[in-house]
Structure 1
Amino acid sequence: MGTVIMHSVASLDGFIADGNDDVGPLHDWYFSGDTPITEGGDRQYDHSGTGSAFRVSKASAEYVRSMWEAIGAIVMGRTLFDLVNGWEGRPPAGDHVVVVSHRPKPEGWHPEASYHFVDDVAAAIEKAQELAGERTIGVNAGEVGGQILAAGLVDEVAMDVVPVVFGSGKRYFGSINGQHQLEDPHVVIQGDRVLHLKFNVRR
């Protein structure tokens, strides 16, 4: 099975958006560099749904490119799906998306896209593993990501830390309870206005 990586951009105090789901300056680094993430031109939908092309610093491009190329499936919550309208059926990475939701896929929504709706986080990871095979499963941080971590189903935590303090908002780990130990970071890459970190989850 592929590695399960929980990932998102976060403020220094651990928020992925404010209380109104606005990411503010968290994603500015995606569009402020001179290097495209993908060689053939980037997909047009970022996590905030602005539709701008990704251009980052060289250090960030190498890191993000290798991570995105490894992803076979993404697991996301219904809130993010609704906010970005599922990236219009074209996820920024991977070929498949699993949405954790008690509501079904909107009727008639991009029937050509490999999007699968399940109502349980364990079932979501199982479906993503089936779809991704040996490739990586990317789990979006937030409430669903925190539930998947709490269930012991996350192998790595990846954070793109931006030098801004939000003070309040939507937490990277959601409303997770209890302590969860991580190993020392095995990836530390400084980009332009972002620090890329990766931690293995301690078993």
Structure 2
Amino acid sequence: MGTVVMHNVASVDGFIADRNDDVGPLHEWYFSGDTPITDGDDAGFDHSGAGARFRVSRASAEYVRSTWDSIGTIVMGRRLFDLVDGWEGHPPVGDHVVVVSHRPKPEGWHPEASYHFVDDVKAAIDKAQELAGERVVAVNAGDVGGQILAAGLIDEVAMDVVPVVFGSGRRYFGNIDRQHLLEDPHVVIPGDRVLHLRYKVRRTATGR
């Protein structure tokens, strides 16, 4: 099975958006460099509304490109699904999406899209790994990501840390209420206005 990686862009104080789900300057680094992440038209990745192509520093481009290419399935919560309307059935990376939700897929919503609605985090990861095969399962950080980490189902934590302090908002780890040890970072890549970090989750005797 592929690695399960929890990921998001975050402020230095650990927020992925403000209380109104506004990401503010967190994604500005995607458009401030001179190196395109993809060779072709990546307008589908752009959720800023500006129609701009992603252009980042060279170090970020190499890291992000390889990360995107490795992903087979995205796992997200219903809140994000509703905010972005599930990217209208076209996930920004990977081929499949698993949505953790007690509500079913909206009736008539893009029946051709490989989106699967599951009401339990373990069942969501099992389904995501089945769909991804040997490719990576990318778990969006936030409340659902925190629940999946708490359940011992995350292999690695990846953060793109932006030099801004939010003070409050939506936490990267959601409402997680106990300590979880990580290994030393095995990826530390400084880019322009972003620091890419990646940690393996330390397993305990009772861990997965």
Determine if the TM-score, normalized by the shorter chain, exceeds 0.5: yes
Aligned residue pairs total 203
1:57 equivalenced with 2:51 (yes/no): no
SS at the partner of 2:63? helix
Closer, same or farther: CA 165–142 of 1 in aligned 2, 3 Å: same
Q: Distance in 2 between matches of 1:38 and 1:130?
A: 27
Q: Distance in 1 between matches of 2:196 and 2:85?
A: 27
Q: 2:100 aligns to what? A: 100
Matching of residues 127-146 of structure 1 within 5 Å: 127-146=127-146
Q: Distance in 2 between matches of 1:165 and 1:149?
A: 24
Name structure 1 gaps, 5 residues minimum. Answer: none
Q: 1:24 aligns to what? A: 24
Which amino acid is the alignment partner of residue 38 of structure 2? T
Q: 2:206 aligns to what? A: none
Q: Distance in 2 between matches of 1:113 and 1:48?
A: 23
Matching of residues 28-177 of structure 1 within 5 Å: 28-46=28-46, 52-177=52-177
1:184–1:199 Cα contact (<8 Å) kept: yes
Give how far 1:51 is off: 5.3
Q: Residues 146-175 of structure 1: CA distance to partner in whole angstroms, max 9, x if unpaired?
A: 000000000000000000000000000000
Give how far 1:102 is off: 0.8
TM-score by length of 1: 0.96
How large is the RMSD of aligned CA atoms in angstroms? 1.3
| Misfit runs of 4+, over 2 Å | 45-53
Q: Distance in 2 between matches of 1:51 and 1:122?
A: 37
1:44–1:54 Cα contact (<8 Å) kept: no
Give how far 1:5 is off: 0.2
Give how far 1:92 is off: 1.4
1:49–1:87 Cα contact (<8 Å) kept: no
Give how far 1:111 is off: 1.5
TM-score by length of 2: 0.94
Q: 1:10 aligns to what? A: 10
1:45–1:51 Cα contact (<8 Å) kept: no
Q: Residues 59-96 of structure 1: CA distance to partner in whole angstroms, max 9, x if unpaired?
A: 11100000110000000001111111111111111000
Closer, same or farther: CA 75–49 of 1 in aligned 2, 3 Å: farther
1:44–1:51 Cα contact (<8 Å) kept: no
Q: Residues 20-73 of structure 1: CA distance to partner in whole angstroms, max 9, x if unpaired?
A: 000000011111222221222214234667654322111111000001100000
Q: Distance in 1 between matches of 2:62 and 2:180?
A: 29
Q: Distance in 1 between matches of 2:195 and 2:43?
A: 23
Closer, same or farther: CA 130–158 of 1 in aligned 2, 3 Å: same
Q: 1:192 aligns to what? A: 192
Q: Distance in 2 between matches of 1:149 and 1:50?
A: 34
SS at the partner of 1:177? coil
Closer, same or farther: CA 137–48 of 1 in aligned 2, 3 Å: farther
